[in-house]
């Protein structure tokens, strides 16, 4: 009887977990690719359960639906900031990257001779507005869509996508909580902020030996979520931030915040915000005598930051989700074609939108015009795990979140130089000196 119950239990577990045959390496990896050194509670007790380590499946209907026979085009949606947002330049780049991928797909025959058509929708970072745009996409009969950058927009759009059963390929939102919604109608092809922060923790505390870090960050969700992650992980290696100051997107005078930072006498300063504000903060820091090393978010990797900051940018260290100076032939071809088509260099949002759109088109070409089947193949980690894009090889965790290796970026001779970003290594733990406030 005991044997029968044991076999029944094993069978139930296999049914509930169709991905039970994951490799041993994947089973051992911490959630979100968190280094062992800063994995929560790991020094004290092994939690009995880890969330997000088993992909959530979709068991609803819809796979039996046949594709329409009277189509003259195959519609794919786009959601991004194109007006009314501080991220309009980035939204434009994202749209151009998606457009280039679609144009190339059409040159290669589209979908069985039918052209792909991009249905473009603007987001403005307002609660509820994104949901309305996804409803419009449903009315337009899009098969899936790519987007967006703003974390609030992405969260709202994803919930509408769940309700309407339209798959969303996220190409620009770095908010770690986006995939933690456990909604099986999305995947992300850009690394989230955890990956950058893990690397910055390694760089700031371990490699560069700082202990007293001041943080000045945007008050938007982009800065709020990132600071929470940084603060938690800095504390786990023994060095909580000594002060946290905030600013508003679009703000130009940071005197008050910087004077409060000066009083704390930090070793270094972490700036987390968009390119323009970060450059202005750097200017005003140096003007009042703050000469400490500066670290920043990946959004500093932008020509606008270098233009405004000028020579003051020398030595600034940040991260980047990919290497824009890569010698990879696939990336070089993309960059050449992009510059020829749009007369400007692609940024991180253009490159990832290009990859996301190509991934989506590949899925449609494989399974046809059925939303649920498109969802199924995009969330099948065996099919697209390792998909080679222009930004690198896609590596998804069990929540369909991109966790591939990223890059460090440092300003040298007026431009960013890139190198692989090493994770915090347990072998180096002994060299971390515990600090205090």
Predicted pLDDT of residue 80? 96
Same domain, 297 and 422: yes
Same domain, 276 and 413: yes
Same domain, 290 and 423: yes
Residue 62 and residue 42 in contact, taking contact as beta carbons nearer than 8 Å: no
Burial (CB < 10 A; 0-12, 13-18, 19+), residue 41, is: exposed
Same domain, 186 and 200: no
Report the helix count and the strand count for the chain, using DSSP H and E. 14, 14
Q: Is 305 among the domain residues?
A: yes
Predicted pLDDT of residue 18? 47
Residue 232 and residue 256 in contact, taking contact as beta carbons nearer than 8 Å: no
Predicted pLDDT of residue 103? 98
Burial (CB < 10 A; 0-12, 13-18, 19+), residue 228, is: middle
Distance of alpha carbon 47 from alpha carbon 49, whole angstroms: 5
Q: Is 59 among the domain residues?
A: no
Q: Is 334 among the domain residues?
A: yes
Q: Is 52 among the domain residues?
A: no
Same domain, 302 and 173: no
Q: Is 401 among the domain residues?
A: no
Q: Is 273 among the domain residues?
A: yes
314: which 2 tokens? 């020398």
Contacts for 311 with CB less than 8 Å, ≥ 6 apart:
414
Predicted pLDDT of residue 8? 46
Question: pLDDT (tens digit, 9 = 90+) per residue, 309-358?
Answer: 999 999 999 999 999 999 999 999 999 999 999 999 999 999 999 999 99
Number of compact structural domains in the chain? 2
Q: Is 98 among the domain residues?
A: yes
- State the CATH number of the domain containing residue 109: 3.40.50.2300
Same domain, 271 and 413: yes
Q: Tell me which residues of the chain have a pLDDT lower than 50.
A: 2, 5-8, 10-16, 18-26, 48, 426-437
Distance of alpha carbon 38 from alpha carbon 231, whole angstroms: 11
Predicted pLDDT of residue 110? 98
Q: Which of 372, 341, 413 is nearest to 333 (CA)?
A: 341
Same domain, 212 and 295: yes
Same domain, 203 and 148: no
Predicted pLDDT of residue 3? 53
Same domain, 264 and 411: yes
Predicted pLDDT of residue 23? 45
Same domain, 304 and 339: no
**Number of C-alpha atoms within 13 angstroms, CB side, residue 282?**
28
Same domain, 315 and 333: no
Range of the domain at 230: 194-320+407-431
Same domain, 107 and 178: yes
Q: Is 80 among the domain residues?
A: yes
Predicted pLDDT of residue 47? 55
Predicted pLDDT of residue 52? 77
């Amino acid at each position: 009887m005991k044997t029968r119950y044991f076999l029944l239990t094993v069978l139930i577990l296999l049914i509930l977990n169709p991905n039970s045959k994951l490799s041993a390496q994947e089973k051992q990896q911490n959630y979100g690719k968190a280094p062992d050194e800063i994995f929560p509670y790991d020094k004290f007790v092994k939690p009995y359960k880890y969330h997000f380590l088993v992909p959530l499946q979709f068991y609803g209907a819809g796979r039996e639906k046949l594709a329409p026979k009277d189509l003259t085009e195959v519609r794919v949606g786009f959601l991004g900031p194109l007006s009314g947002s501080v991220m309009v330049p980035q939204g434009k780049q994202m749209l151009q990257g998606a457009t280039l991928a679609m144009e190339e797909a059409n040159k290669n025959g589209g979908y069985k001779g039918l052209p792909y058509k991009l249905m473009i929708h603007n987001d403005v970072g307002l609660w509820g507005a994104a949901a309305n745009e996804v409803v419009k996409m449903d009315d337009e009969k899009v098969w899936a869509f790519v987007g967006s950058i703003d974390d609030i927009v992405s969260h709202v759009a994803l919930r509408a996508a769940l309700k309407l059963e339209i798959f969303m390929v996220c190409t620009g939102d770095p908010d770690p909580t986006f995939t933690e919604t456990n909604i099986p109608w999305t995947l992300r092809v850009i690394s989230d902020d955890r990956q950058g922060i893990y690397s910055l923790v390694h760089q700031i505390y371990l490699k560069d030996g700082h202990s007293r870090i001041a943080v000045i960050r945007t008050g938007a969700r982009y800065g709020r979520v990132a600071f929470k992650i940084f603060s938690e992980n800095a504390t786990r290696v023994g060095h909580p931030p000594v002060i946290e100051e905030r600013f508003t997107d679009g703000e130009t005078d940071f005197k008050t915040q910087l004077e409060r930072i000066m009083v704390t006498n930090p070793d270094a300063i972490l700036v987390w915000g968009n390119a323009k504000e970060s450059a202005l903060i750097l200017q005003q820091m140096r003007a009042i005598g703050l000469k400490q090393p500066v670290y920043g978010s990946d959004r500093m990797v932008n020509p606008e930051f270098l233009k405004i900051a000028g020579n003051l940018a020398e030595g600034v260290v940040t991260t980047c989700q990919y290497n824009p100076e890569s010698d990879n032939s696939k990336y070089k071809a993309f960059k050449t074609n992009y510059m020829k088509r749009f007369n400007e260099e692609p940024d991180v949002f253009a490159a990832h939108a290009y990859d996301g759109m190509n991934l989506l088109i590949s899925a449609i070409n494989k399974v046809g015009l059925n939303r649920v089947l498109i969802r199924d193949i995009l969330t099948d980690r065996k099919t697209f795990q390792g998909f080679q894009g222009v930004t690198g090889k896609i590596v998804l965790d069990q929540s369909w979140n991109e966790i591939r290796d990223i890059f460090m970026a440092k300003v040298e001779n007026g431009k960013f130089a890139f190198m692989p970003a090493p994770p915090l290594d347990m072998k180096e733990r002994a060299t971390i000196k515990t600090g205090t406030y």
